[in-house]
Chain A
Amino acid sequence: MLLLVTGIGALIHIYSLGYMRDDEGKSRYFAALSLFMFAMLGIVLANNFVMLFIFWELVGFTSYVMIGHWFERAAAADAAKKAFLTNRVGDFGFMLGILMIWMPTGSIIFGDIVPQISKVTVNPGYLAITALLIFCGAAAKSAQFPLHVWLPDAMEGPTPVSALIHAATMVAAGVYMLVRVAFVIQASQDALLVIAWIGTITAAMSALIATQQDDIKRILAYSTLSQLGYMVMAVGLASNEAAMFHLFTHAFFKALLFLGAGCIIVMLHHEQNIWKMGGLARNLPITFLASAVGALALIGCPPFSGFFSKDAILALAYARNTPIFLLALFTALLTAFYVARLFIVVFLGKPRTPVAKSSDEAPFVMTTPLIILAILSAVSGFGFFAQQFLVIPHEKEVVIWVPALALSAVILGIGSAAVLYRNQTSEPFDIELLRQRFYIDEFYGWFIDSTQGLLARLTGFCDRWVIDAGAVRGVSGGTWGFGALLRLIQVGNLQAYSFLFGLGIVLLIYFTIFR
């Protein structure tokens, strides 16, 4: 993981030199990028919950800064805010989980908790809640349903950032964290089941959404969600090895795809709509070839890395949970479908706009990282390479028809996309539900407005008119009124005073004698 972060981080720094060449906020950009590297390495190296949490928050902060890099764009500013707040919600659960694991075990250091874990497992309900709260943090960072909404919007940031933070490393930190604290998660079967299903739902749902998006980066973002769903699914199926293996290969090919997309975006003068591209294979040959490697790895085509890691997860699902396996297989089909759609529309066919026609290959600093990542994406699935870095999962009994089914799903996906999208100039389908991303953002907007917004208005009103105007001014008004009453007595008239004096004496006598 460490080498992954530093390796991809270095490539992205180089790439950024080209991508951000003309940006005014260049110094801010590179400062934040370096801060991100610091925080990310902190996550990887942390040996206790609090350090993990500190760096966890810091990557969230740098992510905020990077998404909001072009802060004068309203969309970027909103996306940054949304990302940070969604992560805060996750961190709320994470922190609570940390507190809950700390109290019984008396420690926050991973190594010290492990021998103490039996103190938590005596209460399965408590354990499940703790595990799920910790997972809540991971779900926000790794953008799992229902906290996934920030990641597609995060694509408002510069593309290298999307590649590094929002595809290869930071979003994978959630999965990494789950693997790191597996001693808690795997102790609870209930929690594992929930986690596996959340991963599966995320994978299938975002793959569906990805088939109907037009923005090249958003398609890749939903694809990232979907792949993260696979990893979380693997965690939920209690296989750290499979999760880490997919994380490892995914980091390479998704960074590659994003950087490829970045080349296209820059060369097309910041055009991100795939329907305004087309025929780019001729003009950007290196980008095309490198992206092709990435795409094949993503859909899980045999010699490339994604095949091996995805197959490991599919085999795992096949062995442990059949409904999840079927959904995962369906997601694989969808993945092949939307990737093929993206490819056909962007690289093949005829250029649909003049700028796409006159585009040119990206500069050297941008293509070199592409080539390196393409090589890594191609080979990182092979045992001889990956074994240097992590443990390759081995299923006990090899079921030959899991990869066979996966392959046929891939071929089916590619085939249908090829048939449907060949020579199309605009989207032939219009599935509103998918286009609008299942209306989840709208629902959240409504939900937040109707709960938090309502509460805020209510309390704001209450504070202004009940506590301040009512109670405080009431007391002060009462004091005024009482003062005014007293003032009535001070009429400055001798007869009145003598009358009051007499009244007082009479009352005094009454109280002292007759009572």
Chain B
Amino acid sequence: MLLLIIFTPIVAALLIMAGAPARRTALLASIFNLCLSLLVLAAFDASSRGFRFVSSFPIFPDWQLNFTVGLDGLSLIMLLLATIVTLASVWFTDKIDNYERAFYACLLFISGGAIGAFASLDLFFFYAFHELALIPTFLLIGIWGSGNRSAAAWKITIYLAIGSFILLLGLILLYQSIPAGARTFDMRALKTAASQIPPDAQRNIYLLLLLGFGVLVALFPFHTWAPEAYASAPAPAAMLHAGVLKKFGLYGLLRLAIPLVPAGAQYWTGLLVVLLLGNITYIGFVTIAQKRLDWMLGYSSVMHMGYIFLGFASANLLGTTGAAVLMFAHGLSIALLFAIAGELRKRTGTLVLEDLGGLGKVMPFAGLAFGLGAFAAIGLPGFANFAAEIMVFFGAFQRGWEMDRFHCFQIATVLGLWGIVISAVYMLRAYRSAFMGPIPDRWKDVVDLRGSLRVPVTLLVAAMLWFGFFPQSFVRLVSPAFRTYFSASQPR
């Protein structure tokens, strides 16, 4: 079943290249995939630890290299995120003038690659699937992008390639540091094998992994690729990358770096906190300074990564669970926001905030959708983002707490909370300039989203609300995976 979910988009992409009707095949494949992942969700037994739906095929028995896939609660929610956002982004793809087939195929390849990476239990395929997903991203920006697309495409290509390279170094070092007899690519076995790595090596490995994954997630100061790429990318590509693929780096940190080299994670906590505060405060102010909606959204997505890192850094069950939920929630809300921004660009031809205005009058549905996305992003209760952020704050605040004075994590929490104010500033400002206020004459004839486009919006909003009202359905899935992380060395 899991194999089916991984290969459905890839097979569909190949079929489209071979001549199947592009849009219909892509839509069918992504609907099918979403249904499958919902089935998996229903069949998933949250109470048990370890991985479910495991299947394994030997590739190079000598190296113990197997194609192994399986799911635990964490990968399950990432899978769900990937299938939901894939469907939405495929649905939002509208007439493509040139190479329509290739466009849909690229989207499906990203989807398949991301799903594969989330489901892989084998280090080699974990990495390979991610690379499979990255390449179509470059193509999407370079061929179908807007603005200065080739520069943006080159930038993201080189940037992410360097990030992946650092990551690869980290993974190789990890592999090499394990005593020869215990070496394995299997993530399940790695946990015990990695416990033999001496603390010095752990530090180096964690630093490489943090920087490698960090570049992929736009950790400050390696973030400048993100806003430019998202602004140039066609909306579906931005949705998929910001919503799903970027979460790969976070997923990798959660799956590999934190549990396998805990001493390294402990050692570099200070660095991580400084960098993530860069994401939250510095990028927050940069976001306020943006004058274009797409750049603003790009920066805001970079900023919100800071909260996820804060959850990681808190190194306790509460904060980490919150971070995982936030990965999911942020994916949905940013996808929705990029989708609506893309529609705005299609209809008005501009995303400069000063030129827009009053669009709520002619596009009430788009205004509502963007408003919901914006309020979700700034953490309004009722959306999944709020539930996640509050867990992150509670988790971070408690680390190293003392009554007499505030330490690093308390200060980080205070700044993080202020970041929530900052995010409200830029989101409401953008919303005010785009959708509210008097409507200029030139936008009088802009039309609202048509009936069929309302379906993916509804899907995204429904998911955000469902997990906002029932975050425990999520926590139940995710926390068993993390409980093992913190059982041994729970820092207070």
Q: Does B404 contact A (CB under 8 A)?
A: yes
**CA–CA, A58 and B386, complex, Å:** 12
Out of B224, B282, B288, B432, which one reaches A77, CB within 8 Å? B432
User: Residue of B at shortest CB range from A25?
Assistant: B364
> Would A452 and B288 count as touching, CB distance under 8 A?
yes
> Would A99 and B285 count as touching, CB distance under 8 A?
no
Closest beta carbon of chain B to A139's beta carbon, Å: 15
Encoded as 1 (CB less than 8 Å from any B CB) or 0, chain A from 77 to 121 comes to 110110011001100100110010011100000000000000000
Q: Does A17 contact B (CB under 8 A)?
A: no
> Would A85 and B361 count as touching, CB distance under 8 A?
no
Contacts of A77 in B (CB 8 A): 432, 436-437
> Would B358 and A88 count as touching, CB distance under 8 A?
no
Known: A452-B288, A456-B285, A471-B221. A71 touches B360 (CB 8 A): yes
A-B interface contact total, Cβ < 8 Å = 108
Q: In residues 451-485 of chain A, which contact B (Cβ within 8 Å)?
A: 452-453, 455-463, 467-468, 471-472, 476
Q: Tally chain B residues at the interface, Cβ within 8 Å.
A: 44
> Would B358 and A467 count as touching, CB distance under 8 A?
no
Q: In residues 429-467 of chain A, which contact B (Cβ within 8 Å)?
A: 452-453, 455-463, 467
Q: Does B428 contact A (CB under 8 A)?
A: yes
> Would A455 and B435 count as touching, CB distance under 8 A?
no
Contacts of B155 in A (CB 8 A): 472
Q: Does A50 contact B (CB under 8 A)?
A: yes
Q: In residues 371-412 of chain B, which contact A (Cβ within 8 Å)?
A: 375, 380-382, 386, 390, 393-394, 397-398, 401, 403-404
Out of B158, B159, B417, B425, which one reaches A96, CB within 8 Å? B417
Chain B interface SS verdict (over half) = helix
Q: Does B24 contact A (CB under 8 A)?
A: no
User: Residue of A at shortest CB range from B424?
Assistant: A88
> Would A460 and B290 count as touching, CB distance under 8 A?
yes
Contacts of B358 in A (CB 8 A): 72
**CA–CA, A71 and B359, complex, Å:** 10
Q: Does A420 contact B (CB under 8 A)?
A: no
Out of A81, A102, A126, which one reaches B432, CB within 8 Å? A81
How many chain A residues sit at the interface, stated as a range, is 35 or more
Closest beta carbon of chain A to B284's beta carbon, Å: 8
Q: Does B182 contact A (CB under 8 A)?
A: no
Encoded as 1 (CB less than 8 Å from any A CB) or 0, chain B from 279 to 291 comes to 0001101101110
User: Residue of B at shortest CB range from A453?
Assistant: B288
Contacts of B397 in A (CB 8 A): 99, 102-103
Closest beta carbon of chain B to A430's beta carbon, Å: 31
Q: In residues 13-51 of chain A, which contact B (Cβ within 8 Å)?
A: 50
Contacts of A68 in B (CB 8 A): 436
Contacts of B421 in A (CB 8 A): 85, 88-89, 92
**CA–CA, A462 and B420, complex, Å:** 22
**CA–CA, A461 and B286, complex, Å:** 8
Out of B289, B435, B438, which one reaches A456, CB within 8 Å? B289
Contacts of A61 in B (CB 8 A): 375, 380
Known: A72-B437, A96-B414. A460 touches B224 (CB 8 A): no
**CA–CA, A123 and B439, complex, Å:** 56
Contacts of B454 in A (CB 8 A): none
Q: Does A54 contact B (CB under 8 A)?
A: yes
> Would B436 and A85 count as touching, CB distance under 8 A?
no
Closest beta carbon of chain A to B396's beta carbon, Å: 9
Q: Which 3 A-B pairs have the closest CB atoms?
A: A460-B289, A77-B436, A54-B381
- Chain A interface (Cβ < 8 Å from any Cβ of B): 50, 53-55, 57-58, 61, 68, 71-74, 77-78, 80-81, 84-85, 88-89, 92, 95-96, 99, 102-104, 123, 126, 452-453, 455-463, 467-468, 471-472, 476
26 contacts between A and B (CB under 8 A): A50-B390, A55-B381, A57-B380, A58-B380, A71-B436, A71-B437, A72-B361, A72-B439, A77-B432, A77-B436, A81-B432, A88-B424, A96-B413, A102-B397, A103-B397, A104-B403, A123-B404, A452-B285, A452-B288, A456-B289, A459-B285, A459-B289, A460-B285, A460-B290, A461-B289, A463-B283
Given contacts A452-B425, A453-B288, 19 further A-B contacts (CB under 8 A): A50-B390, A71-B435, A72-B360, A72-B436, A77-B437, A81-B428, A88-B421, A95-B417, A96-B413, A99-B393, A99-B413, A102-B394, A456-B285, A456-B288, A460-B288, A462-B286, A467-B221, A468-B224, A471-B221
